[in-house]
Amino acid sequence: MENYKNPISLFKQTNFSKTIWWKLKVNISGYQNEKEDKLVTEIFKNRIFRLLYPNIYQYNQKFSRILVQLYEDGYVCWISLDGLIIEEYELKKTENLKNEQFFIQDKVISILKWIKDQADLTNEYLWGGTLGPNYDCSGLIQTAFLKHNIQIPRDSYQIKSFCKHLFYFKESYAVLQPGDLLFFGNKEKCDHIGIYKEDGLYYHCSGKDFGRNGIGLDTLKQTNDKISLHFKSKLISAGRVVRNYRWDRTIR
């Protein structure tokens, strides 16, 4: 069994550097703030992060959580020191994939099958859920892509900004391709996301209010189904993932 050191002792060895990257050896939860147990994301083992708080001048203060920024999507959240197991990680130079759009397109069928498999499991909506079987809307989509080695942002409004914009929803959905992402919300902000399957159908993970409390299949076609009608009324735009998020070249 590997002899892992206390995380704080490891941070001390590097003077609480913000440029050192660390690799998680366990699944952990990410929280909204330093004190409350409000989950904002779940974080897979083997993901990479850097430390934002504390720094070398603050480590003598009493704290049970640290503020981190994740490498794969730039996401910032608080994680607990309790049960945290990490190791130092050296970033390798990111390859510039000339054909990454084609790589992503080739994964679409597998991504949709993976989401269908998750929908077939017993599941319910979980705010911040990414580990499964319970997800939130963007957690489902991000994890589906991450499982296929495609890195995209965490939250729906971030994914919307990251994607190649296709159109606003005054146009027909007929031009949508499987794997395109659908964005829902209002004029101020996108707050929900789904992924197009085919023939007007899309997967998404919706909550109890106006939704299915889990992963479901809804339609853009004319229907009497109240849930599909509700989300259709909230459609903003469509987008397509054509690149990977890159720490060294993506606007954060």
Q: Quick one: how far is CA 243 from the chain centroid? A: 15
> What residue ranges do the domains of the chain occupy?
7-89, 100-240
Residue 5: predicted pLDDT: 75
Please tell me the pTM assigned to this model.
0.94
Task: Give the pLDDT means over successive 10-residue stretches in the chain (252 positions).
Answer: 74 93 98 96 97 83 91 96 96 74 97 98 98 98 97 97 93 92 93 97 97 98 96 96 83 44
Residue 1: predicted pLDDT: 41
> Regarding the domain delimited by 100-240, which CATH topology (the fold level of the hierarchy) does it fall under?
endopeptidase fold (from Nostoc punctiforme) (3.90.1720)
Residue 169 has what DSSP assignment?
Answer: T
Residue 99: predicted pLDDT: 86
Residue 238: predicted pLDDT: 97
Tell me which CATH homologous superfamily contains domain 7-89: SH3 Domains (2.30.30.40)
Residue 3: predicted pLDDT: 52
Residue 252: predicted pLDDT: 42
Give the gyration radius of the chain's Cα atoms.
19
A 10 A CB-CB count for 85 gives 15
Strands in 214-219's sheet, in edge-to-edge order, are 164-168, 235-240, 181-185, 190-198, 201-206, 214-219
- Beta strand segments in 81-213, E: 86-89, 164-168, 181-185, 190-198, 201-206
CA dist., res. 177 & res. 165, Å (int): 13
Residue 133 has what DSSP assignment?
Answer: S
1: β partners: none
DSSP-based three-state secondary structure for 101: helix
Q: What CA–CA distances, in Å, run from 103 to 72, 116, 143?
A: 18, 21, 17
**Burial of 49: CB neighbours in 10 Å, binned 0-12, 13-18, 19+:** buried
Q: Which amino acid is at 123?
A: N
Quickly tell me which residue has 């146009």 as its tokens.
171
CA dist., res. 252 & res. 113, Å (int): 30
Residue 57: predicted pLDDT: 76
Do the beta carbons of residue 123 and residue 215 sit within 8 Å?
yes
Residue 168: predicted pLDDT: 93
CA dist., res. 105 & res. 37, Å (int): 38
DSSP code string of 200-245 = TEEEEEE-SSSS-SEEEEEESSS---HHHHHHHHTEEEEEE--S--
Tokens matching residue 90: 């050296």
CA dist., res. 67 & res. 78, Å (int): 4
